[in-house]
Structures are given as structure tokens and as C-alpha cells.
Amino acid sequence: MGIALVTGGTSGIGATFARQLAANGDDIVLVARDESRLEQMAHELRGMGREVEILPADLSKRADVAKVVTRLEDAARPIDVLVNNAGFGMHSKLSDADSTVHDFAFEVMVRAVRELGAAAARSMRARGHGRIINVSSTAGFITMASGYSAIKTWVTAFSEGLSNDLHRTGVTVTALCPGWVHTEFHARAGISKGGIPSWMWLDSEKLVKSALRDAERGKVISIPSVRYKVLMWFARHLPRSAVRSISRAISSSRSSTVTE
């Protein structure tokens, strides 16, 4: 059907996107840092009958981001779907003297998202069709003290702005805003499932199916599941002082579940 490029495509939500896009008939370009994991994932997807390119890239490095931009701009092998998924959890506080983690997060989850989204937008607009899915978070609707909320607020706002930029061009932009999802992402971020109510966990396959359906319909903000839609409605409509209070409680709960 087409070619989809997925960043962070070897694990978690990214891997689920790669599998479902392949199952839908798309060939896949996988972008991630670990070449051995890229090869493993590519082998799996080729077993589904798809053509798979691997593109090792560390999106915290601007030269590597430029390589992915070049691939997105290749008119001979056009990308029909971009999934900007690469990212990681953060526990460093906004007031920390050491800005290393924040600098790294900015490069991967802000600058790279902007560069790749813009490159895809230019290429897709020239052809008159395409889909861009930026993986944001429901954390962007609240005010966590780690900086993750601020970054994901930006991703959602960027997606909305890019959608306006591409209005009536045939190219859609969707910000996927999941909550807690059953993947290794939260394990790597130090979040124990035991510390979060069971009803708040989402299934990654259902999440991605919902996101792809929303993107196909041109929906700009995709919030999976009725329960998260309701929660985010309250996050948008409650007084900001109440949102800050709830965010402090969540931050405290998350801190208590960090594993060393």
C-alpha cells in the first residue's frame, strides 16, 4: 500500500505501530539506535511479507536526525506515514542544576519531532497525501514537575499547529496522547504497574488501532479509551489550581515507584 517510517520502532508503542502498519500492507522503515534490535524487528516484519529498511540513528544527535530527514525527503521512495514515536520517561526535576537529561529530552522529543515532522510535511504536501502521527501523552494536559509534561504539551501544540499548516493539502497530522500503556517504556522509566490502578493501564494493540483509525479520519488529537477521554476533559476544564494539585499527587506517586 505504501511506506511507513517509525522512529523508536523496535519496542513498545513503536513496535506495535510497525507490526500493525505491516499487517495493513505497508512496507516499513525502522529507525532506532540499537542495530541488533533493528535487525530482529526487521526479520519479524519481513516474515509478514513486507519490505523493511533499517536506519540506525540516535535522534539526540543532529547528524543522525539529518539522515532521517534525507530519507523522508527521498522522492524516489516516498514515505506515506510518519510515526514520531522515539522518546523516554523523565524523573529529573525542572529545577535541577544538571540540565543533561533535559537537553537530551529536548533533542529527542522536541527538536527531532519538529525536524522530522517538517520534512514529512514538505514531502507529503508536494504529493498531496500522507499521515503524520506524533506520539505525545496525556501528561501534556497536566503539570508534572519532571519536564515531561512540558515537552508533551509542546508535541501536542506542535501537532495542532502543523495540522493547520497542512489544512486542505491532503496531509493529516495526529497527536496521539496515551496514558499508561502495557509496554517496556514504563518499566524503563522506573514505573511499577503495582503503583498505578489497574483500570488506568491500556493495551498497546488497541491503542495503536485506535490511533491509526483516528489518523485515517483526520482527527488531530487522539486520546485512547473512553476513560482517558473523560479524564482529559476534566483536565481541560478544571481550575488550573486543581490540575496542579492533582499533578503533584501523581508526581509523588510516580517518584515512590522508581526502581534503582
Using a pLDDT cut of 90, give the percent of the chain over it. Answer: 78
Q: How far apart are CA 240 and CA 260, in angstroms?
A: 33
pLDDT of res. 257: 34
pLDDT of res. 175: 98
Q: How far apart are CA 152 and CA 155, in angstroms?
A: 5
For the chain, domain boundaries: 3-255
- CA distances to 131, 140, 192, 195, 234 from 215, in Å: 7, 19, 31, 32, 24
> Band of the pLDDT at 255, cuts 50, 70, 90?
very low
pLDDT of res. 252: 65
Class of domain 3-255: alpha beta
> Band of the pLDDT at 200, cuts 50, 70, 90?
confident
> Band of the pLDDT at 145, cuts 50, 70, 90?
confident
φ, ψ of residue 199 in degrees (nearest 5): -70, -10
Q: Is the pTM of this model over 0.85?
A: yes
pLDDT of res. 259: 27
Residue 30 corresponds to which amino acid? L
Q: Which range is most confident: 56-65, 84-93, 234-243?
A: 56-65
Lowest mean pLDDT among 136-150, 160-174, 197-211: 197-211
Nearest to 258 by CA among 164, 194, 200: 194
- The answer to whether the beta carbons of residues 136 and 156 sit under 8 Å apart is yes
Q: How far apart are CA 171 and CA 11, in angstroms?
A: 27
What average pLDDT does the segment 231-260 reach?
75
> Band of the pLDDT at 10, cuts 50, 70, 90?
very high
pLDDT of res. 160: 98
The single residue of 10, 105, 108, 148 carrying the catalytic annotation is 148
Computed over every residue of the chain, the mean pLDDT equals 91
User: Tens digit of pLDDT for each residue in 21-77?
Assistant: 999 999 999 999 999 999 999 999 999 999 999 999 999 999 999 999 999 999 999
SS3 content of the chain, % helix, strand, coil (to 5): 55, 15, 35
- φ/ψ region of 128 (left if φ > 0, alpha if ψ in -120 to 50, else beta) reads left
In the annotation, is 228 catalytic?
no
> Band of the pLDDT at 226, cuts 50, 70, 90?
very high
CB contact set of 247 (below 8 Å; sequence gap of 6+): 142, 143, 144, 145, 149
pLDDT of res. 199: 64
User: Tens digit of pLDDT for each residue in 205-222?
Assistant: 999 999 999 999 999 999
C-alpha cell of 91? 524523573
